[in-house]
Each structure stands twice: as structure tokens, then as C-alpha cells.
Amino acid sequence: MPHAPAPARRRSAVLTTLALASATALTVTGVTGVTGVTGVTGVIGVIGSEDRARAEDAPTQADITVAQDGSGDFTTVQAAIDAIPADNTTPVAIDVAPGTYRELVTIPDNKPHISTWGTSGSATFKADADDFRAGNLTFANDFDEIEHADQEDHQAVALRTRGDRIVLDNVIVTGDQDTLLLDSDDRYVQKRVHITGSTIQGNVDFVFGSATAVITDSVIEVTRRPDGSSSGYVTAPSTALDFPGFLITDSTITGDVDDGTYSLGRPWHAGGDAALDPQTTIRDTELSAAVMDAPWTDMSGFSWRDDRFAEHHNSGPGSGPAGDDRPQLTDEQAAEQEADDWLGDWAPYE
């Protein structure tokens, strides 16, 4: 049986961003940003000592504090990040006091070792540096597809990571299309992500990118499209041949949608790159009736059968026996597709 997802912890501070969608949506190979005005709302902040997640890994106190009332070092999150020297070599903790923060947040790739520990957090958040850790945050993008139906592109990323050794613990990542981009600035350079005790919500390719990622003890919630229809895809990996892709384990895939309307994934050959070998493995996970009987789908002329998609020991009404449309790992194969195999010499909590 799959492990029960970690319970949600207390959240209180709020980060609200209102900006042009072209500024908040992300542009990656094969995906374009949108234009027009949209609101992106949510929360980010510091947790209390009584419920600090992974306290043994967190800095003992804040190096920088953010408080909108002026009682901290800075009044905006981005100003705090901007104040950190480039190429810093030691962990920096940013604590954000409860309040409402209207801003876009970007952690550039030359500022590694930044931690944000919070009651919750939200905005289009770009974590491009190595060793970024986030806990007890909510990252959200509420781009309104119906309001902007005349626009050609509707991608709306809530969180993008491009660094290596990224840890997301007890976060909520919520959006519609392309919610969570786990990526690299060079898809042939491996970047690793570990997500635990979290909730990820969306409907179209809402876990996607070229990173090597382990998602464990989490809830993946499929949602209806903005027009109320029920269809979509959970993962869209764009993995390079030599790297593992997405491993979802000991989790739950569920949602208040029609039965048999959601695919577990499809291969994203970003930019039409035929040399990629996208991979998603889903194992020891409870699948709701939302999942299709034939759960893998082709994409942009590339067949999922030519890439790496498989299940192992899943349960629930959306699970099914091995067949041509439903590859299942043998026990021997599964022994080589565990978290340690994905993450190599990196142990996220050591």
C-alpha cells in the first residue's frame, strides 16, 4: 500500500504578484510565454519553530529577514535575494514575516545555497540556483484561460527549477497548464530534484521538464480544465538518454474529474530533439479512476513506446495489469529504479 502523504502544516503569510503574463509565464524550448495581464496570487513566509519541516537541515536562524512593515532587513523577497553576493558558498536562510508581498521572485543561477522556509509561498517562482530548498510553501499561478481565450498560448508555470540538488518539502504547487517545470538550462547536464510530502495540482503536462526528479509521499491532483471539461496529462518528461527522468513513488494520483480521462504522461521531445529519451516511472502509488486504461500517450509525433514509461505495483481503481499498453517493471527492474538510483551520490537529507 502507498504511504500516506504528509499532513499539511500551518501557513499564514501571503505573497501576491500582479504582472504582465509575459513576465510571469516561462519560456523554454518549444514552449512560449503568454501575453496580456493576469494575476498570480499566493503565499510565502516563515514557519514557527514548533512546526519547522526538516529542522535538522534548516539553518538555526534567519540570515536575512523580510517584513513588509519595515521591521526586517528588507521589505521585499526579491530585495533580500538581490542582497546576497553572487556565487555564495554557504547556506543563506531568508525568513519572510506574515504579510502580503506583491512581486515576482527570481533566484538567479549565480546565487546557490538559498533556503526559504515558510508558512506558504506563491508567485511564478524561478529557482535557477543549485542547493535551493523550500518548505511549507505554496507556489501558485492562477492565469485565467477563459478570460484570455483569445491568446494563442496558455502556459502558466507556478514554479520553475533549473538548479541541481533542489529539495521541496511539504509544498503545494498549483496551477493549470504546465504547473511545475523541473528543468535544466542544458538538458544534457543532469539536475536533480527531490519532492516529498507535497501536493501538485494541474491538468496539462503539469509535471514536466528535463530534470531527474523523485516525487514521494505526495498527492498529485488532476483538475478539470477551465471550461469544466475533463482531460489531461500528468507528466511530460524531456529526459536525456543517459539520465533518469521522473520517479513518482509511494504517492496518490487523484482528482474530482471524470473516470478514465487523464494520461499518466507523454514524451516531450523539446524542440523536436529525437535524441531525447523521456522517462516516467510510477510505482507503489494509488491511482484513482481518473487514470486511463491505456495511461501513456504520444506527443508531437513521438511515440511513448519508443521512450521509457512504466509502472510497478500500483494500486487503486486506476491501476491495471501488464499489457502492451501498460508496461510493468519486473521486480528485478524495479530494484534498479528506486530513489537512490535516481539521485546517485546525493542524499537530500544528510
Q: Strand 100-101 to strand 105-107: parallel, antiparallel, or no bridges (unpaired)? A: unpaired
Active-site position among 169, 178, 277, 284 = 178
Give yes or no for a contact between 167 and 134, defined as CB atoms under 8 angstroms apart.
yes
Does 178 participate in catalysis according to the annotation? Answer: yes
DSSP string, 89-153: -S-EEEEE-SSEE---EEE-TT--SEEEE-S---SSEEE-STT-EEES-EEE----TTTTTTSS-
What H or E segment, with its residue span, contains residue 73?
Answer: none
Give the contacts of 274 (CB within 8 A, at least 6 positions apart). 302
Q: What is the 3-state secondary structure (H, E, C) of 203-272?
A: CEEEEEECCEEEEECCEEEECCCCCCCCCEEEEEECCCCCCCCEEEECCEEECCCCCCCEEEECCCCHHH
E strands in 1-103? 14-15, 17-20, 37-40, 64-66, 92-96, 100-101
Does 128 participate in catalysis according to the annotation? Answer: no
Size of the chain, expressed as the number of residues it contains: 350
Q: Mapping DSSP to helix (H, G, I), strand (E, B) and coil, where does residue 10 land?
A: coil
Nearest to 196 by CA among 123, 124, 247: 247
Q: Which amino acid is at 252?
A: T
Instruction: Find cell 491501476 and name the residue.
Output: 319
Active-site position among 164, 176, 183, 205 = 205
Q: Strand 37-40 to strand 17-20: parallel, antiparallel, or no bridges (unpaired)? A: antiparallel
Nearest to 2 by CA among 290, 247, 286: 286
Handedness of CA 202, 203, 208, 214 (dihedral sign): positive
Cα(56)–Cα(350) distance, integer angstroms: 9
Residues annotated as part of the active site: 178, 205
